[in-house]
Structure 1
């Protein structure tokens, strides 16, 4: 089955029955089915390992770098590869009937399973005979160009504040042209800016790799608090700590492989490791991205 899952390659997994793609949810935790094909959340990078002589397949999402993992309660989630003996992220590929059809068997003996149309989530189960466990594997071509990092989007709270204040400001300006009295000064109090509670923050650990992409796991990391999800703004904050001319990469766990960050961060506010690779250096592997 190595032809379907070459080490370092990118794939999409499509349910044979539901005709939808395996997606890393934007919350950074869930895994679901979605019809969106042209999305980084639908792409998974192959990470092959051999443990006790058995070849195993790990899949980490191209969007957030987190690994396809099976929980104890049948749910499939996005996990981390923080322990070489971890079982939750370990899978084997088993050929199924039909071209490019596979079963993904977890080391616990359960199989990756799509669910009925009433349920978006993906689970694991023990019955490999159902076609709900059949997956089509689509290999992704690589392109040499770097995708544009999305610009920051305004927070919903900021948009609501502006939507509320703009009509008020317009009315106040109209009053100023017709009334010169104490009432004008009262209405000017509406311009007073209310204090808005700060947005939740996440902890970012960052380090700059050397020219060949190597870095120390135990020393040299800087840490700071980051507000929001914008990868565009994150890049500026990281550059203020480790220097300019870098490509941002993340990893999910100490043994996770680097994933270029080209989408906004997941919604969950878990700490993130960010590694900066010097642009155009041998360690900068950003030119092996998805088509």
Structure 2
């Protein structure tokens, strides 16, 4: 049976670097290894899709709504034939091969192969401070072996006052406005989650703080009292799945698309959330 069958969320733990997990990095574009197990950045939502040959594959969606992608760009670390692995939008109805992944058993672990034939690979076997994750064309290294942890679904809706359990890096100075200022596109979603592509509005946001984003959007929509009765979702690409925003916005200036769902609608009720504190299953 496919390890992803019936699974909504997973963590991917590197077998060669025990305690290190694949994480969506805070720039919203790159991926890395992290030992911070109890954060949303190391949890990946699973979406089933057909592979290039029609076989079963999955899309892996991270904390910022983007998907794990094996690119064709030469990586600066790892083996000479390695390529960059990043987070990317879903802009086409048929996902490109680099976004599609299969889990292949290797004894008690798995290797993850993209639709391009490359395998997800951790780095830093000897230089332990390296956190890079790439993809390479062979699967012989133990750096390509991963444990796939099933993350249970949370039984209750997150509260807007819950902490933003998110990846942190040591910084020598606070973030400046120029590092986080960006354009936000926003729209109210229909009850079924559909979006009127002609109804997008834009605004400028000079912070990456999630609560500030909530309050600013509520004021823009004239619904300040309803801030606790809506769910903010990132849509990463026109064909991206709606991803509940549970962490601060990524650091950077890339535009973010936000779909606002009212509580009680079918689209909002269909959303699922990972239970970060539950014991792993399998």
Q: TM-score range by the shorter chain?
A: 0.7 to 0.9
* Equivalent residues of 1:207, 1:215 under 8 A apart: yes
Aligned to 2:200: 221
Please list the CA deviations of residues 32-72 of structure 1 after superposition, one character each: whole Å capped at 9, or x if unmatched.
111111010010000111145222211011x2111111122
Partner Cα separation in structure 2 for residue 200 and residue 44 of structure 1: 24
Deviation at 1:144, TM superposition (A): 2.4
Q: Which runs of 4+ in 1 moved over 6 A?
A: 196-199
Unaligned runs of 5+ in 1: 153-158, 161-195
CA distance in 2, matches of 1:22, 1:239: 34
CA distance in 1, matches of 2:90, 2:6: 16
For 1:94-131, what per-residue CA distance to the aligned partner results, in whole angstroms no more than 9, with x for missing partners? 12211xx2111111211001112242100111121211
* Equivalent residues of 1:229, 1:265 under 8 A apart: yes
Name the structure 1 match of 2:114: 106
The secondary structure found in structure 2 opposite 1:288 is coil
| Structure 1 residues 6 and 233, CA gap change in structure 2 (3 angstroms) | farther
- Corresponding residue of 2:9: 10
Alignment check: 8 A CA contact 1:8 1:47 kept: no
- Counterpart of 1:135 in structure 2 is 146
Aligned partner of 1:267 among 251, 256, 264 = 251
Is the contact between residue 143 and residue 289 of structure 1 (CA under 8 Å) also seen in structure 2? Answer: yes
Alpha-carbon contact 1:247-1:286 (below 8 Å) kept: no
**Equivalent position SS for 1:203:** strand
Superposed, which structure 2 residues align to 1:133-212 within 5 Å? 133-149=144-160, 201-212=181-192
Q: Which residue does 1:80 correspond to in 2?
A: 89
- When the two structures are aligned, how many residues end up with a matched partner? 245
| Corresponding residue for residue 188 of structure 1 | none
SS state at 2:186 partner: strand
- Confirm whether residue 90 of structure 1 aligns to residue 100 of structure 2: yes
- Cα drift, residue 145 of structure 1: 2.2
Specify the structure having the higher radius of gyration (Cα).
1
Partner of 2:217: 238
How far did 1:279 drift?
Answer: 1.1
